[in-house]
């Protein structure tokens, strides 16, 4: 930690005078650090690979579209990520209406193909975004191969796949094209991991996004993820639909997008998520 602090001090051109640990995540260790010039920063550490660099690149990508606020990247290395500290505030009365409208604006920011220029992470699990020879143009195939099949193979490696699970997944594979047959919109910029713990209320009472798993995909995937743990306020969804209406059948497709995250939770946290994964698959069978 002393080495990280000394490197940070050279970046911010100030001395770190206080470090306070904060909660809020199950992946990285987080702190608020205070410099002798009065500035505060948010520091993440606890890994020594490319996870923090990939998170930084995702935040930079989200910032490009000028929709929802994200913490600015101050400095990043293999073992830390230093961000602007966004102070927490109280929601405005229009918080969720603003949030829905701004997410719709983010989703109107387009990419040339599905995926991203690099692979990154969903939680601590690798998220595969790259395709050979720029072939990421078919959303159902991208979503099945790079999202569901990848997680299924991790489930196999982790010992969670029994004959029932395997048979159910194989039946789902045969239906994936029909489930997603109307998903023909161009690739939208997605946060990628949009649940209640990955947005915050800033000092002005406005929404801000944190902890992304960015890629370009179908916007319904972001909206489905918001419902994994109970969903957001109804004003959020109403405002989004008014700003950028979804195509008919989006409710039917929600479970296929939730399945990716539930399988990821199965791989990270264990068998308590296996029954939910089977339920989601069986909803299409």
Whether residue 249 sits in one domain with residue 152: yes
Phi, psi of 82 (to 5 degrees): -110, 125
Look-up of token digits 């997008």: 257
Whether residue 78 sits in one domain with residue 192: no
Distance CA 205, CA 200 (A): 9
CB atoms within 10 A of CB 165: 18
The active-site residue out of 193, 211, 222, 235 is 193
pTM of the predicted model, to two decimals?
A: 0.94
90 lies in a domain?
no
Q: pLDDT tens string for the chain (285 positions)?
A: 678 999 999 999 999 999 998 875 556 789 999 999 999 999 999 888 899 999 999 999 999 999 999 999 999 999 999 999 999 999 999 999 999 999 999 999 999 999 999 999 999 999 999 998 666 899 999 999 999 999 999 999 999 999 999 999 999 999 999 999 877 899 999 999 999 999 999 999 999 999 999 999 999 999 999 999 999 999 999 999 999 999 999 999 999 999 999 999 999 999 999 999 999 999 999
Domain that holds residue 48: 2-84
- Last residue in a domain, options 84, 116, 142: 84
Whether residue 242 sits in one domain with residue 135: yes
- Last residue in a domain, options 57, 84, 111: 84
152 lies in a domain?
yes
User: What is the domain count for the chain?
Assistant: 2
- Last residue in a domain, options 65, 84, 103: 84
CATH code where residue 257 lies: 3.90.1200.10
Instruction: Provide DSSP, 119-134.
Output: -EEETTEEE----GGG
- CA-based torsion, 8, 9, 13, 15: positive or negative: positive
- Verify whether residue 119 is a known catalytic residue: no
Whether residue 122 sits in one domain with residue 78: no
């Amino acid at each position: 930690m002393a080495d990280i602090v000394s490197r940070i001090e050279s970046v911010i051109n100030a001395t770190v005078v206080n470090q306070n640990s904060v909660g809020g995540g199950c992946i990285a260790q987080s702190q608020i650090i205070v410099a002798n010039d009065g500035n505060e920063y948010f520091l993440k550490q606890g890994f020594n690979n490319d996870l923090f660099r990939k998170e930084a690149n995702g935040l930079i990508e989200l910032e490009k579209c000028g929709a929802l606020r994200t913490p600015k990247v101050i400095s990043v290395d293999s073992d830390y990520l230093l961000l602007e500290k966004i102070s927490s505030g109280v929601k405005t009365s229009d918080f969720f209406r603003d949030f829905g409208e701004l997410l719709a604006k983010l989703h109107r920011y387009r990419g040339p193909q599905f995926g991203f220029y690099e692979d990154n992470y969903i939680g601590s699990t690798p998220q595969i975004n790259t395709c050979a020879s720029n072939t990421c143009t078919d959303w159902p195939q991208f979503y099945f191969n790079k999202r569901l099949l990848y997680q299924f193979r991790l489930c196999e490696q982790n010992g969670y796949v029994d004959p029932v699970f395997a048979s159910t997944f194989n039946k789902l594979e045969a239906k994936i094209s029909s489930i997603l047959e109307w998903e023909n919109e161009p690739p939208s910029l997605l946060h990628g991991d949009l649940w209640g713990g990955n947005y915050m209320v800033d000092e002005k009472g406005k929404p801000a996004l944190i902890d992304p798993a960015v890629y370009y995909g179908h916007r319904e995937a972001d909206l489905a993820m918001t419902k994994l743990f109970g969903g957001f306020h109804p004003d959020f969804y109403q405002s989004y639909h008014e700003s950028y209406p979804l195509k008919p059948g989006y409710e039917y497709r929600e479970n296929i997008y939730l399945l990716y995250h539930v399988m990821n939770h199965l791989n990270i946290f264990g068998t308590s998520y296996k029954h939910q994964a089977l339920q989601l698959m069986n909803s299409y069978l």
